[in-house]
Amino acid sequence: MRAITYDQPGPPDVLKVVDVKFPQLNENQILIKVVAAGVNRPDIIQREGNYPPPSDHSPILGLEVSGYVEKKGKNVNNFLIKDRVAALVNGGGYAEYCIAEQESTFKIPGDLSFNEAACIPECFFTAWSNIVQRGGISKNQKILIHGGTSGIGLAAIQISKIFNSYVITTVGNEEKVKFCEQLGVDKVINYKKDDFFEVIKKSDARNINLILDYVGGDYISKNINLLDTEGTLVNIGFLKGSITELNLMKIMLKRLQITGSTLRIRDNRFKGQVLKELEKFVFPLLIKRKIKCYIDSIFKFEDVVQAHHRIDEGKHIGKIILNP
């Protein structure tokens, strides 16, 4: 089968389409004939050599796919051959066929296309588990989501709106500002024009209950200063670095919680439990198109280098998708 691989980590140009062996299925797994695979920032970090996959995961890039059930193990009872499915996978998504665990595989909600369905797993599992389960969001809170037009950001904004949150987001250009405003974000800050900390501090939006951040670096102390009493900071990435100098006094005085998590290393049970909550609270809204999968661009496997250049440039709004 065809898959996208690389010999040495590096820039997008290291990626190439080659023939590889079919993956071997165990009795609890599903073989998906891939129609669409999502491109995520963790793929970029892995391609650069800074995010090695766990030893029992596929070394092939790709954490989410949609497609048809091609084969299934004898313990898989919830799916039929040819079912339209999508899955959060343990690597291997950038290939014509991909192994998925039954716990993190789901039938495509409603009439969503394969390209739309491939946008769901990585971003909605991550956003839901960190905002709802870890961040403990409750109704009518103020939430700050950094990087609002990323795949994660758009999922997080829409999930927050289920809870009637006042949503503030940061983005890197005016096109992204307009996009987020049209999406219904209450306050959008172009962080390249204005210091988000100063803007929020001077506005009615200060005293934030929950912050979802993947930037880190100098954002960490700014985030802590913006949190209200009993507020929570959830870090799911550190694009600007994870080492910083912090005055912990604010944590004590405001009774803050600082937490974080990474989805990839979690076990099937955990991923299955997140999926159950998504099926209950998010999929009905996806079916009614009240929550949307925003696609920036779709590339053929042969054009994967361009797809990775596109995400590297950071100008995209929403998800980048690959089609084998």
Ligand X SMILES: NC(=O)c1ccc[n+]([C@@H]2O[C@H](COP(=O)([O-])OP(=O)(O)OC[C@H]3O[C@@H](n4cnc5c(N)ncnc54)[C@H](OP(=O)(O)O)[C@@H]3O)[C@@H](O)[C@H]2O)c1
Note the residues at the interface with ligand X (CB under 6 A): 40-42, 122-123, 126, 147, 149-152, 171-173, 176, 214-215, 236-237, 239-240, 261-263, 311, 314
DSSP 3-state assignment of 30? strand
Q: From the centroid of its chain, how far is CA 14?
A: 24
Q: Which is nearer to ligand X, 152 or 210 (CB)?
A: 152
Q: Are 5 and 91 in contact (CB under 8 A)?
A: no
CB of 20 vs ligand X, minimal distance in Å: 24
CB of 79 vs ligand X, minimal distance in Å: 25
| H helix runs in the chain, sequence order | 41-47, 114-117, 120-128, 151-162, 174-183, 196-201, 219-226, 249-254, 268-281, 283-287, 304-313
Q: Which is nearer to ligand X, 76 or 154 (CB)?
A: 154
For strands 187-190 and 166-171, give the pairing.
parallel
Q: Are 235 and 243 in contact (CB under 8 A)?
A: no
CB of 147 vs ligand X, minimal distance in Å: 4
Q: Which is nearer to ligand X, 76 or 213 (CB)?
A: 213
Q: Which is nearer to ligand X, 31 or 274 (CB)?
A: 274
Residue 37 sits at φ, ψ, to 5 deg, of -130, 135
Find, among 202, 200, 203, the residue nearest to 211 by Cα.
200
CB of 210 vs ligand X, minimal distance in Å: 16
CB of 312 vs ligand X, minimal distance in Å: 9
CB of 265 vs ligand X, minimal distance in Å: 9
CA 147 to CA 304: how far, in whole Å? 23
CA 39 to CA 115: how far, in whole Å? 11
